[in-house]
Amino acid sequence: MRSYSGAAPSRRRFLALSAGGAAAGAAALSGCALSTAGAASGGGNGESITMMVELDDVSPELIQQARKELGIRITVVKNDITRLIAMLTSGNPPDLVRGLGALDAPYFAARGVAEDLDPYFAKSTILRTDDLDPANDVWRFDGTTQGQGPRYGMAKDFSQDAMFWYNTALFDKAGVDYPSETEPITYEEWLENGKRLVQRKNGQTTVYGGSYNGVNLTVLLTNLTAAAGGSLFSEDFTRVDFTTPEARKALTWYVDYARTRVGPSLIQPNPDTWDGPTYVANRMAMSGSGYWLGGMINAEAKVAKVSRLAPAPVFEGGPRLSSCQAGTGLWMPKKARNKDAAWRVFEWFFGEGPAKARAEGGWGIPTLKSLRPLMPQKEDYQKRVFKVQEAELEHFSVTPFTPYAKWDAFEALINQVMPAAMNGQISVDTLAGRLNSALNEQLKRGKEQVG
């Protein structure tokens, strides 16, 4: 049943959006930046669209390129959940919006604000469905389950985000054996390696043993529970349960990771704010960031030569799976005013010049299978990484997420509750109970709003 896809969405349904945005501390509207290309000319008949994205997603150079190649003028609005709500409820939404397919697709589809793009894909000669990588299934939702049903968006690229990079020079220095590039190590082994690899001086961490925080903690805990053989959500996605054996195993492992202080966490923040700069500066022995980080690693030849990619770890006795935790891409609001022009930009962004440039740089795996040969394979170390990544694709799966809560609202609640357990002030069982209470209240409100 897809009853949500009919009538125009009511303001009531957006309350969950605004609740999520408030909980995540969304930026004030006055802080939103604009970037425009000026008047368009040429084949697009002066058409224009608005894209709500991060400003570095669509650079001024890309805006000019779109104007030249498509004749379409692009106005870029800074990605901001608060502003998005205001634009949606006022009936003047952006034409294309940035989102994390793994987390956002069911949320916006269930609220009836996202356009079903199946008819557009059916007619496209650039984005053919038989050329779409299965990773794009994170953008599908049938009204109940993610990964099935209509497509509501597409990923610009993807990684299997539980895979991790490691620095062989730092492993050699610590006398630690390299992880296998074909068989996954266990999460327990990963953490033991991290303890041996971490370097400290005068009580300060100088080299992290490893970082394992996922795209965010919400999706990390969802995926760790799946790796333990369970599901964080109930079958109808209206509740979470951190007290099941599988969820408790996932929670215990992550709390142990933080307590050992082998890597960045809520109680030991990385001053660089994310893994990339730290890893390429040789101050991080392992980074659970997936293939995507290769775009940054490839730019530093010395680091690239000592860097290798390993399969996603497993829990002992758990399944081998390697999902995408983001699938960042674009979706089209149902009330967008310039859908044909938006689709033409969509095709160009995902299947033409911009997509080819991303593939060649190693910034994620292309979401069109036909673009995969463009992935970096010139150097021997790049060929090695490519081989590991190709083999890992066999283990790809979609880990469904709830349509009843915005992930950043979950994240804000997790960030409040988790540090006490990481600092040893409360037990994992107490933490599980507190997470259940906080997140299930959020889910209850979201279910009421969707109806």
* pLDDT at residue 136 greater than cutoff 70: yes
Question: Average of pLDDT values for 369-383?
Answer: 94
Per-residue confidence (pLDDT) for residue 22, from 0 to 100? 37
Q: Please, which residues bridge with residue 354 across strands? A: none
Residue of 14, 100, 17, 20 lying closest to 413 (CA atoms):
20
Q: Given CA atoms 389, 394, 395, 397 in this order, what sign does their dihedral have?
A: positive
* Alpha carbon distance 282, 302 (integer Å): 10
Question: Average of pLDDT values for 204-211?
Answer: 96
* Alpha carbon distance 160, 139 (integer Å): 15
Question: Average of pLDDT values for 28-50?
Answer: 46
Q: What is the pLDDT of residues 139-158, one digit of tens each?
A: 999 998 899 999 999 999 99
Burial of 330 (0-12, 13-18, 19+ CB in 10 A): buried
Q: Please, which residues bridge with residue 99 across strands? A: 329
Residues 6+ apart with CB under 8 A from 431: 242, 251, 255, 417, 418, 420, 421
* pLDDT at residue 50 greater than cutoff 70: yes
* pLDDT, mean over the chain: 89
The packing angle between helices 428-450 and 11-23, to 10°, is 150
Q: What percent of the chain has pLDDT over 90?
A: 86
* Alpha carbon distance 229, 117 (integer Å): 33
Domain ranges of the chain: 48-159+326-367, 164-323+400-450
What Cα–Cα distance (Å) separates residue 96 from each residue in 106, 149, 391?
17, 21, 33
Q: What is the pLDDT of residues 167-180, one digit of tens each?
A: 999 999 999 999 99
Q: What is the pLDDT of residues 61-117, one digit of tens each?
A: 999 999 999 999 999 999 999 999 999 999 999 999 999 999 999 999 999 999 999
In contact, 158 and 364? CB cutoff 8 Å: yes
Residue 343: CB atoms within 10 A of its CB come to 23
Per-residue confidence (pLDDT) for residue 162, from 0 to 100? 95
Q: Please, which residues bridge with residue 132 across strands? A: 368
Q: What is the pLDDT of residues 340-372, one digit of tens each?
A: 999 999 999 999 999 999 999 888 899 999 999
Using DSSP bridges, classify how beta strands 47-53 and 72-78 pair: parallel, antiparallel or unpaired: parallel
Q: What is the pLDDT of residues 427-450, one digit of tens each?
A: 999 999 999 999 999 999 999 988
Question: Average of pLDDT values for 390-411?
Answer: 93
In contact, 210 and 287? CB cutoff 8 Å: yes
Per-residue confidence (pLDDT) for residue 45, from 0 to 100? 57
Region at 274 (left for phi over 0; alpha for psi -120 to 50; beta for the rest): beta
In contact, 232 and 240? CB cutoff 8 Å: yes
* pLDDT at residue 396 greater than cutoff 60: yes
**Amino acid identity at 61:** E
Instruction: Look up the CATH number of domain 48-159+326-367.
Output: 3.40.190.10
The helix (run of H) or strand (run of E) holding residue 222 is helix 217-227
At residue 308, what are phi and psi to the nearest 5 degrees?
A: -135, 160
Question: Average of pLDDT values for 261-275?
Answer: 96
Q: How far apart are the first and last CA of the chain?
A: 13
DSSP type of residue 17:
H
Per-residue confidence (pLDDT) for residue 363, from 0 to 100? 80
In contact, 194 and 322? CB cutoff 8 Å: no
Q: Can 48-159+326-367 and 164-323+400-450 be said to share one CATH topology?
A: yes
* Alpha carbon distance 50, 112 (integer Å): 20
Region at 427 (left for phi over 0; alpha for psi -120 to 50; beta for the rest): beta
Residue 134: CB atoms within 10 A of its CB come to 15
Secondary structure (3-state) at 166: strand
* Alpha carbon distance 103, 404 (integer Å): 11
Instruction: Look up the CATH number of domain 164-323+400-450.
Output: 3.40.190.10
The helix (run of H) or strand (run of E) holding residue 105 is helix 101-110
Per-residue confidence (pLDDT) for residue 344, from 0 to 100? 98
* Alpha carbon distance 24, 16 (integer Å): 12
